[in-house]
Amino acid sequence: MLAQWPGACENFFVMPNLPALLGAGAACAAAGVFCWGAVAPSSQLFGPTLRHTGDSTAIALTFDDGPNPAVTPALLDLLDEHRTRATFFLIGRHVRAFPELAGEIAARGHAIGNHTETHPPLALLSPRRIDAELLRCNEAIEAAAGFRPRWMRPPFGFRGPQLPGAVRRQGGAPVVMWSAWARDWKPQPAAPVIQRLRHARGGDIVLLHDGDHRTLRGDRRHTLEAVRYWLPRWRDAGMRIASLDELHLRSPLV
């Protein structure tokens, strides 16, 4: 009788394995959701994050992986020239290498955030290791700048279910992601970085890099030149460039 149904023999042998197949499919789906939640800037799966300024006329420029003596001093001068404040997410070991430069960032009125001690992918770490990464970075920034950072950004944007608890244990700094980026994390000409920043709009938190997590003196001249190009143009378009401190954003973790 089975022979009367095309494909019946194949279905007969597949049916007993259906629960296993469904289980495998569910596992794959769950893994896909976890991966999306861990890396997508828009994901809120592993706790609330900040991605926008909440002000359609304000852009928040954020710089990761410093301080970097090869670029950060020139960037600070450029921001001063335009009377602009930004937010710097600093790596603890870089702060320990250049404490005076980290202190200079604070002294010039810029916001500072915790970008961990060694820049690991936090989604792969234990809560205890995340606690240590955040604590060590907080300590380095406090020693250099005189205060603990108000903001936190996970390296690579990677998060996991263990992150919100670790952040709360270290003071509850808001986790800051981004809504626009320039893919400037490797050396390149300034032109493509300038082109990518054309997509930045009022309300965006923009991800940029003044440092390199792999080295203490990374080449980020392309980022500097792109910011030099866009600052006057954003101003002419009626945009206000502000630090996260100036925007008085409320913590989503409260």
Q: How far apart are CA 157 and CA 163, in angstroms?
A: 11
Q: How far apart are CA 93 and CA 132, in angstroms?
A: 13
Our measurement of the distance from residue 91's CA atom to the centroid of its chain's CA atoms, rounded to an integer in Å, reads 12
CB–CB of 196/173 below 8 Å? no
Told to judge if 64 belongs to the known catalytic residues of this protein, a careful annotator would answer yes
Which run of H or of E encompasses 254? none
Render the burial of 130-157: b for 16+ CB within 10 Å, e for the rest: bbbbbbbbbebbeebbeeebbbbbbbbb
End-to-end CA gap in the chain: 66
Spot the catalytic one: 52, 64, 65, 110. 64
Spot the catalytic one: 110, 209, 213, 222. 209
As given in the structure block, the two tokens for residue 4 are 């009367």
**Where do the H-state alpha helices sit in 82-162?**
92-97, 99-107, 127-145
Cα separation values, 83 from 80, 98, 117, 215, 242, Å: 5, 24, 30, 29, 10
Query: Which residue(s) pair with 87 in the sheet?
Result: 62, 111
Told to judge if 222 belongs to the known catalytic residues of this protein, a careful annotator would answer no
Q: How far apart are CA 4 and CA 89, in angstroms?
A: 68
Catalytically active residues, by annotation: 64, 209
